[in-house]
Structure 1
Amino acid sequence: MALNKFWSHWWGKLLVLGALLALGLGGYFGYSVYEASHTAQEAKLSEQAQLNKKLNPKKLVTQPDPNGQYSYGNDNSGIPTAKQLKTFQQSKGTLSQIGYAGTNKQPGLKAPISGSPIFVGASDKVLATGTGTLSANFKLGEGNNQLARHSFGGTPTTGDYVLGFSPLQKIDVSKQPKFYETDGTKIYTYRLTKRQVIDVKSNPKAYQNAVYGDTATKVTLVTCDEPIYGTINRHPDKRIVVSGALVDTQAFKDAPTSVKAIFPQVA
């Protein structure tokens, strides 16, 4: 009787519906956090595996495949789940490696971008394994080196934006942090000075200009915008685009120890 009397009032119905809505939202958010953490853990294992692989200079390519897929966010399936990461990594096809890219922790970067292999194109297999190229004529240290890598946001199990290109979420380009590419023989140093967040759907022209509109000798880093801590938007509309000019080229053996440490793959 008491329950019927409670339900008969409008405020009673409102309280019950509000409680159900809160439970539903709480459950959805809880599952999203769990799923994001699971994905991040798998991505972390993948990154560590790549860091443990030694460089084989004979397997590096100098002429990228012109038939590769180079469009980040269109020719791939968005941010993969943990299961998809494994599936893409094990899928058929050959990965053509150009070199490595990454950077250390420094002013302007709260977390390092781990040294990752640069593979030709931006297919699911490439982006599940390392860093991809966004143009067919990519050569280290020449022209506009457009690079894409997944962002896995920030999760309770891995920390504050540490995986893939996730550190670009928090980068402070006013500090002009450096970014590095290497083929194991030379190291190319770039100074990152510009960061943009662009909605690809509503402003595709701005995105194209930001990534492809400059032929200067520079690096352009592209990843998905994942600003909500603890969750992953699998198909975000916004992209983070960070760029900067080439400022130095030197022999790998002559680079500072802190820079060489980014690439443990190079013996």
Structure 2
Amino acid sequence: MNTYIIFFVTFLALSSSSLAAAETETEFHYQKGAQADPSKWMSAKHEWKVCGLGKRQSPINLTPEIARSIHNSTKLFQTYYKPVEATLKNRGYDMMVSWDDDAGHIIINGTDYKLVQSHWHAPSEHFLNGERMAMELHMVHKSEEGHLAVIGVLFREGAPNAFISRIMDKINSIAEIQDGEAVIGEIDPREFGWDLTKFYEYSGSLTTPPCTEDVEWTIVSKVGTVSREQINALVDARRGGYEANARPAQPLHQRMVYLNEQAVASEH
């Protein structure tokens, strides 16, 4: 099944990034007061200076007041996903799902972005109406030129998340193993579940060093739920300053933020 979603792309030209941009370096911390906590990322390495000096940093606080509303624009956002064997990896600073083969791609305004991986942050990195949620899912995509497009989904504490429930035993099996991996079988990226009938979009950066300002962000407005047990499982798998792996909200710096609300068409 292919899903076609009309999507207004407000930013066409982004600065170039390296092919390694979808991966992140590990010599940083989130723990306040640590040698390389978020306030010190810019001084930890020369290559990370943009973390403090950049004007398009992520995450940000998303509110209807700062966003320009769009309804049923004519630009295209298309998703083409398919089920492929996947692997879960404990990277120490997060849990990541990666696909062993091509799991599909999205097309934004004519540019293909291949699905690279997905991972979770707890608590959330983006704020919604000034509120930090319990968790945030990032679906990371990359173009042939190395540019990134990330779909973000926010979660409140509540009912269990269906996808996390499916792989809960795998999460627990590698929770204590740095760089541990577990095969999780065939995973269709659509199983993560999101509703793109209403979403925020803006031009931003990676939320971890090197904070490259080359990311097209799409943050789903509809908030999902995740149970306390699931949050604890993902948080307990992290150690050494990564237990709360969420960067503080960054200044907007006059950037345009768009709130897109529209109907979704699907093709089977």
**Normalising by structure 2, what TM-score?**
0.28
> Whose relative contact order is higher, 1 or 2, with alpha carbons under 8 Å and at least 6 apart?
2
Greater strand content: 2
Give the helix-richer structure, 1 or 2: 1
**Which structure has the larger Rg over C-alpha atoms?**
1
TM-score, with normalisation over the residues of structure 1? 0.28
